[in-house]
Each structure stands twice: as C-alpha cells, then as structure tokens.
Amino acid sequence: MKYDEFLGHVQHRARLGSHAEAERGTLETLAECLAGGEAHDLTSLLPEELARSLQSPDAAIGAKLTLDEFFELVSEREMADLPTSTFHGRVVIGVLTEAVSIGEIQDVRVQLPAEFAQLFNVANEGDLPEITT
C-alpha cells in the first residue's frame, strides 16, 4: 500500500481533516511496544514516510504497556483527548493490518499483551469492534 493510499484510508475512516498526528502517535507508540527486530521488519513493509514513525529513538524497547496506557500515550503524542485519540489509534491499526502481510501482523501481535488482539480484529470498512478494558 502506498503512503497516500494509507493516509487516505485513515483520513476517510477517522473522518480527519489532517492525519499526521494520528498516524505518527499510533505508530511511534506501537514501535515502542515491539522488541528485537520486529519494528524494523514492520518498517520494511511500509512506505518510507510511514516507516519513519516506527523508527523513533524508543522503537524496539519492548515497552510493556496495557491497552489503556497505549492509548494514553497515543493521546499525549496526538495532543488530543483520549476518546478521540483512541478512535484514531484504532483506525490506524486497522489500516496497518490491511497494509502489511498477515504473517507480519501475527508477528507483531505475538509481542503484544493479549488485550491488544481486539485492535487487529477490524473489517475493511464499517464499524470498529468494541474495545473492552
């Protein structure tokens, strides 16, 4: 998936006028939750512009965040209220799931706590599944 296509999907699904903060906040936070070479593996499958968000200084530190902590950090980075950034984060993860191979998404999911699994259960379009915390 090309960069413009990825961002177009995020913008459309999240009803955003601008997408940069939503995309960057979610991907940077996800990268921090990954360990070893997984963030690098993921970046190799994404357009360069998206890959940069996964190459933050704290990428691949294997941060053990709860789902609530994940969304709180996304909210801080996006500089948006928690409900808004949670929605944006869910959309970005959903589009990411479509943008890379199933095998890569499975590799990412294995490194995350079980409660994160619900983020990756997104249909192509339509309603997002409920998040239970």
* pLDDT tens string 62-105: 999 999 999 999 999 988 899 999 998 999 999 999 999 999 99
Instruction: List 35's β-bridge partners, or say none.
Output: 61
Tokens of 108: 């990412």
| In the chain, domain spans | 3-120
CATH of domain 3-120: 1.10.490.110
Whole-angstrom Cα distance, residue 117 to residue 119? Answer: 5
pLDDT at 126: 47
133 — pLDDT class (breaks 50, 70, 90): low
pTM: 0.84
Classify residue 36 by burial, with Cβ atoms within 10 Å: 0-12, 13-18, 19+: exposed
